[in-house]
Amino acid sequence: MTAAADTAFVEFERVQKSYDGETLVVKDLNLAMPKGEFLTMLGPSGSGKTTCLMMLAGFETATHGEIRLAGRPINQVPPHKRGIGMVFQNYALFPHMTVNENLAFPLQVRGMGKSEREAKVKRALEMVQMGAFGSRRPAQMSGGQQQRIALARALVFEPDLVLMDEPLGALDKQLREHMQFEIKHLHENLGITVVYVTHDQSEALTMSDRVAVFNDGVIQQLAPPDELYERPQNSFVAQFIGENNKLPGTIETIEGGRATVRLATGELIDATPVNVSQKGAKTLVSIRPERVEFKPEMIPPGAHTIEAEVLEFIYMGDIYRTRLRVAGSEDFVMKNRNTLGQRRLKPGEKITIGWAPQDARALDPL
């Protein structure tokens, strides 16, 4: 999806946030998203992503800049008048109320009549497949069930925008993965706009139309998941999104969208230059582990090959993960699918590995 400012549903324009008047937690944020998009704000703790969500919700005030919803400035609009649904990690359900009462509460606050309230509560519970739980209290349900109720409560008044702050963080891995698909399907079926905050990159890749990668109060890259993974724009994004090999080196030549890099141990390899522009510049060459092959028949034509020593070979069920010594680095990882007849490598074994030149990217040094 693209998001031109003139069709933006949610828009941050030159937004800054400081808590002490000196340090900017969010620095000059410009972000526009269209109606119906699922946008994830992803980044490490302290990167500014949750602060952005809280400013959009109205629980934090922007120090500078303007936030707009459907073209209307909302900086001065109180949270309860923004018409935004919220889902938190800790569910934030009222423990003394039944499920039905929890869901009816936001409708009651809006002055809705009893029969309409009951119909909307019933519909919201059916959306999350919790129709039979209306008379229970939160303490009588599991964490996954409570999270479904929290989601239903955010959707019950049919908001145009739903904000989710680490909503699956308290769930176990299997349930978390199941809920990722549930939320994604709800988004697709209802056509709502979702802003989702997480530090879990696999969650962001699975669920989002676009991902904004935050670091140090700045969006490092805003792109669809496959573009973030395949074409990271700097070393931070490459390291934060998925597992990634990095080989330090120096740009030897750069021309026509290709660079030759001299690695620390003297080998020359080809790479696509990103965020480096001149000969002699320091660089980190980024290569994804699953793009590295060692079987001669699997190494693509025209591939760059290099000698490697096996340090560790780990069976992981669907894949084999091999740690190698490559060009002086002892943290180079190769991932190969577990196929019939796959050879198990032994520590100390010397092999030749290779990858297609387009799978190597010469990025800025960290």
3-state secondary structure of 91: coil
Measured between alpha carbons, how far is 318 from 320 in angstroms, rounded to an integer? 7
Question: Around Cβ 217, how many Cβ atoms within 10 Å?
Answer: 22
Q: Is the pLDDT of residue 288 over 90?
A: yes
- Strand 193-198 versus strand 161-165 pairing type: parallel
Q: Is the pLDDT of residue 2 over 50?
A: no
Is 105 buried (19+), middle (13-18) or exposed (0-12) by CB count in 10 A? Answer: middle
User: Mean of the pLDDT values across residues 236-264?
Assistant: 92
The mean pLDDT value of the chain amounts to 91
pTM, to two decimals: 0.87
Q: In the block, which residue shows the tokens 């955010």?
A: 154
Q: Domain map of the chain by residue range?
A: 5-235, 243-363
3-state secondary structure of 218: strand
Nearest to 195 by CA among 107, 90, 87, 106: 87
Measured between alpha carbons, how far is 270 from 252 in angstroms, rounded to an integer? 10
Q: How confident is the model at residue 227 (pLDDT cuts 50, 70, 90)?
A: very high
| Residue range 18-52, pLDDT digits in tens | 999 889 999 999 999 999 999 999 999 999 999 99
Measured between alpha carbons, how far is 91 from 184 in angstroms, rounded to an integer? 18
3-state secondary structure 227-254: HHHHCCCCHHHHHHCCCCEEEEEEEEEE
Cβ–Cβ < 8 Å for 333, 322: yes
- Amino acid identity for residue 34 in this structure: P
Q: How confident is the model at residue 170 (pLDDT cuts 50, 70, 90)?
A: confident
Q: How confident is the model at residue 66 (pLDDT cuts 50, 70, 90)?
A: very high
Is 3.40.50.300 the CATH number for 5-235? yes
Cβ–Cβ < 8 Å for 194, 179: no
The CATH number for 243-363, chosen from 2.60.40.10, 2.30.29.30, 2.40.110.20, 2.40.50.140, is 2.40.50.140
Cβ–Cβ < 8 Å for 222, 39: no
